C-alpha cells in the first residue's frame, strides 16, 4: 500500500491544505465549550443579557468559519482522492496491458476486474477520509484533553484514562481486521468470476439445463463470502458499543465528580458544562476515528492487492530489435514445443515448418489439436518451452513486441467489435487510415455491402460487442480491421466459420490477389477453407501428422482424408 502513495505526489497542495483547514475547523470547535462556560458563569449567572447575546454571536461566527473550513477541506480531499484513484487506475491498466497472456491466464479476469473497480474504490475512500479525519480526530481528542487540564487537572485525568482505554480497543480490533479484509476481497474475486461466467455463458447454461447447478455453485460461494463478512463485521462492530460503553461510564463519573466539586465550590457550573462538552467531543471524534480506522483497514487490504498487481512484471521479456530483414523464409518453426502454465503435458510438440514470403498455410485438425496454440506463437502471445520461432531470420524474442505485432494482422476465433462507429473500429488496425483504405479492406473482406447498407455508412454505431451485427457480419468486419494495416503476416484463426462457402471462397481469393499479398495462416476445421493453400499442416494432439498440398494429403494422411470425406459427404464437392 505504501508504494501507491507515490501517486499522491502531484497533489501535495491538496493533501497539505485539506488537513490544515480541518485543523482550523477543529480549533474553532475546541473554543466552543469555553464560550458556553463563560456565557453560563458570567452571562446567565449574573443575568447579563448583552453578554449572553455577545457570546451567541461569537458562537455563530465560530460555526460559520468552521463550516467554510470544513467545505474547503472536503474539496481538497475529494480532489486529491479522485486524482489519486485516476492515476492508480491508469497505472494498473497500463501494467495489465503489458502482461503476457500466460500472466493473465494465471491471475484470472475476475481478479483483475475486482482490483480495477472494488479495490481501487475502497482505496479512494480511504484516502479521502484519511486526508479529512486522520489528523482532525486525534487533534480534537488530545486538544479536548489539554483544554480539560486547563479547567481542572483532577477531572482531566478521567480524560487521560479514557483515551488510553479507547486506543487499546481500537488497536486490537484493527490489528485483527486488516488480514481478514484481504481474505474478503479474495472471496469477492471468486463470486465475481462465477457471476461473469454465468452472464456470458447464460445461453450455454440454459441449453444444457444446468441452471440449478450453477445457482448452487454461486450460492455456495456467495454464502462463504457472507459468512466471512458477517464474522469480520461482527468483530469490527464491537468497536462502537465498546467505545460507547467506556465513554458513557467516563461521562457519568465526570458529572458525578463535577457535582461534588461544584457543591464544595471548587468548580463552577460553566466549567462542569465545558468538561462535559469536551468529553462529548471526544466521544464523537473517537466514533469517527473508529469508523475511519475500519475504512483505512479495508483500504490497506485493498491497496496491497492493487499494489501487488501493479508491481507484477510480465514473465515475457521484451526484445530490442525494431528492424526486419525481409528474408525469403518469412516464418520458420524449429523444433517447437509449447506448454501452458500449470499443464503437465505439451500442447504442441516438435513442430518444424518453413514458410516462404507470400505463401498461404492451412492448419487443420480436430478440436484441441493445438491449431490456435501454434499460430499464437507467431505474434508472441505465448513463448515456446523449447525451440525457436523465427521471423525474417531472427527469433521473435529479439523483436520489440510492438514492432513485431504491427507487421501482423490477427483475426481471432471470437469476433470482437467495440462500441463506437464502424470507422473507429476499423482504425484499430491503423490509426490514421483514410476512408478509401477502409473501404478497400472492406471490399477484400467481403464486407463493403454491410457498411454501405447502413444509413450512416462508416459512421454507423456499433453496439457493445457488435450485437447489432450477425455472426458472419462481425467476422467479415474483424477481417477487414486486420487488413486495414496491410499486414505482412495475416492470421485467420477459424475466423470464417460463420461464412457461407461462396463468401469464404471469395474472401480467400481476394486476399490472394492483394498487391504484396501477405503471408497467410488459415486455421480452420473445413477442408474447403485450406485446400487451395500452398502447404497444409494436419495436427492431432499437438503433433504434425501430415504436411503438404491438398491432393497429396488425401493420399498420404489418413486423418486429413477422414476429415475431408466426412465433410465431402455432407457438403458436396468443393
Cβ-based neighbours of 132, under 8 Å, separated by 6 or more: 18, 19, 22, 73, 74, 77
The DSSP string of 263-313 is HTTSS-HHHHHHHHHHHHHHHHHHHHHHHHHHHHHHHHHHHHHHHHHHSPP
Other Cβ atoms within 10 Å of 409 Cβ, number: 24
CA–CA separation, 102 and 100 (whole Å)? 5
Length of the chain: 574
The DSSP string of 441-468 is HHHHTT-HHHHHTSTTGGGPEEPGGGTT
Q: Which one-letter DSSP state was computed for residue 9? A: G
Assess whether pLDDT exceeds 60 at residue 153: yes
Q: What is the pLDDT of residue 464?
A: 81
Q: What is the pLDDT of residue 178?
A: 67
CA–CA separation, 395 and 392 (whole Å)? 8
Span 26-54, pLDDT tens digits: 998 888 888 888 888 888 877 888 888 99
Span 201-227, pLDDT tens digits: 887 888 888 888 888 888 888 888 888
Tell me how far the alpha carbon of residue 559 is from its chain's centroid. 44
Q: Quick one: average pLDDT of 74-98? A: 93
Among all chains, which residue has been given the C-alpha cell 520489440? 400
Closest CA to 70 of 1, 123, 120, 140: 140
Cell reading at 306: 492493487
Cell reading at 32: 466552543
Cell reading at 88: 492508480
Q: Contact 443/483 with Cβ under 8 angstroms?
A: no
Cell reading at 498: 460463420
Phi, psi of 369 (to 5 degrees): -85, -10
* Backbone CA torsion sign across 373, 377, 382, 388: positive
**Domains in the chain with CATH codes:** 84-310 (1.20.1560.10), 321-407+487-574 (3.40.50.300), 417-483 (no CATH)
Span 368-407, pLDDT tens digits: 889 999 999 999 999 999 999 999 999 999 999 989 999 9
Its pTM stands at: 0.71
Q: Contact 538/546 with Cβ under 8 angstroms?
A: yes
Amino acid at each position: 500500500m505504501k508504494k501507491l502513495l507515490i501517486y499522491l505526489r502531484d497533489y501535495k497542495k491538496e493533501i497539505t491544505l485539506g488537513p490544515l483547514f480541518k485543523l482550523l475547523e477543529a480549533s474553532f470547535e475546541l473554543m466552543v465549550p469555553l464560550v458556553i462556560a463563560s456565557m453560563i458563569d458570567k452571562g446567565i449567572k449574573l443575568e447579563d443579557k448583552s453578554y449572553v447575546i455577545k457570546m451567541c454571536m461569537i458562537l455563530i461566527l465560530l460555526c460559520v468559519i468552521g463550516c467554510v473550513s470544513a467545505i474547503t477541506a472536503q474539496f481538497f480531499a475529494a480532489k486529491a482522492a479522485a486524482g489519486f484513484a485516476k492515476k492508480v487506475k491508469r497505472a494498473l491498466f497500463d501494467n495489465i496491458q503489458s502482461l503476457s497472456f500466460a500472466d493473465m491466464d494465471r491471475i484470472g479476469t475476475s481478479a483483475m476486474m475486482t482490483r480495477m473497480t472494488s479495490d481501487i474504490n475502497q482505496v479512494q475512500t480511504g484516502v479521502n477520509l484519511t486526508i479529512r479525519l486522520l489528523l482532525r480526530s486525534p487533534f480534537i481528542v488530545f486538544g479536548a484533553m489539554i483544554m480539560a487540564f486547563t479547567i481542572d487537572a483532577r477531572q482531566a485525568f478521567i480524560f487521560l484514562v479514557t483515551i488510553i482505554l479507547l486506543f487499546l480497543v481500537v488497536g486490537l480490533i484493527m490489528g485483527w481486521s486488516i488480514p481478514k479484509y484481504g481474505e474478503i476481497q479474495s472471496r469477492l474475486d471468486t463470486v465475481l468470476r462465477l457471476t461473469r461466467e454465468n452472464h456470458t455463458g447464460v445461453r450455454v447454461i440454459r441449453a444444457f439445463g444446468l441452471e440449478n447447478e450453477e445457482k448452487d455453485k454461486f450460492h455456495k460461494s456467495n454464502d462463504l463470502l457472507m459468512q466471512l463478512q458477517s464474522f469480520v463485521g461482527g468483530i469490527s462492530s464491537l468497536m462502537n458499543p465498546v467505545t460507547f460503553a467506556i465513554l458513557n461510564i467516563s461521562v457519568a463519573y465526570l458529572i458525578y465528580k463535577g457535582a461534588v466539586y461544584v457543591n464544595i465550590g471548587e468548580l463552577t457550573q460553566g466549567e462542569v458544562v465545558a468538561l462535559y462538552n469536551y468529553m462529548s467531543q471526544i466521544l464523537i471524534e473517537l466514533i469517527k476515528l473508529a469508523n475511519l480506522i475500519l475504512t483505512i483497514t479495508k483500504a490497506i487490504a485493498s491497496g496491497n492487492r492493487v499494489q501487488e498487481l501493479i508491481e507484477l512484471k510480465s514473465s515475457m521479456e521484451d526484445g530490442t530489435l525494431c528492424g526486419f530483414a525481409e528474408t525469403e523464409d518469412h516464418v520458420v518453426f524449429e523444433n517447437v514445443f509449447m506448454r501452458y502454465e500449470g499443464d503437465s503435458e505439451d500442447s504442441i510438440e516438435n513442430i518444424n515448418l518453413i514458410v516462404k514470403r507470400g505463401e498461404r498455410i492451412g492448419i487443420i485438425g480436430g478440436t484441441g489439436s493445438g491449431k490456435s496454440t501454434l499460430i499464437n506463437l507467431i505474434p508472441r502471445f505465448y513463448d515456446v518451452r523449447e525451440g525457436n520461432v523465427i521471423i525474417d531470420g531472427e527469433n521473435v524474442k529479439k523483436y520489440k513486441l510492438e514492432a513485431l505485432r504491427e507487421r501482423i494482422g490477427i483475426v481471432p476465433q471470437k469476433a470482437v467489435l467495440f462500441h463506437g462507429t464502424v470507422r473507429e473500429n476499423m482504425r484499430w488496425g491503423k490509426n490514421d487510415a483514410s476512408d478509401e483504405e477502409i473501404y478497400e479492406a472492406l471490399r477484400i473482406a467481403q464486407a463493403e455491402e454491410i457498411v454501405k447498407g447502413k444509413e450512416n455508412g462508416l459512421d454507423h454505431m456499433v453496439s457493445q460487442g457488435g450485437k447489432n451485427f450477425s455472426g458472419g457480419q462481425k467476422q467479415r468486419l474483424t477481417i477487414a480491421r486486420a487488413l486495414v494495416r496491410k499486414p505482412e503476416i495475416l492470421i485467420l484463426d477459424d475466423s470464417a466459420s460463420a461464412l457461407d462457402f461462396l463468401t469464404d471462397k471469395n474472401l480467400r481469393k481476394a486476399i490472394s490477389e492483394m498487391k504484396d499479398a501477405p503471408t497467410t495462416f488459415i486455421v480452420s476445421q473445413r477442408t474447403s477453407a485450406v485446400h487451395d493453400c500452398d502447404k497444409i499442416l494436419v495436427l492431432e494432439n499437438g503433433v504434425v501428422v501430415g504436411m503438404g498440398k491438398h491432393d497429396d494429403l488425401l493420399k498420404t494422411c489418413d486423418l486429413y482424408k477422414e476429415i475431408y470425406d466426412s465433410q465431402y459427404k455432407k457438403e458436396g464437392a468443393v
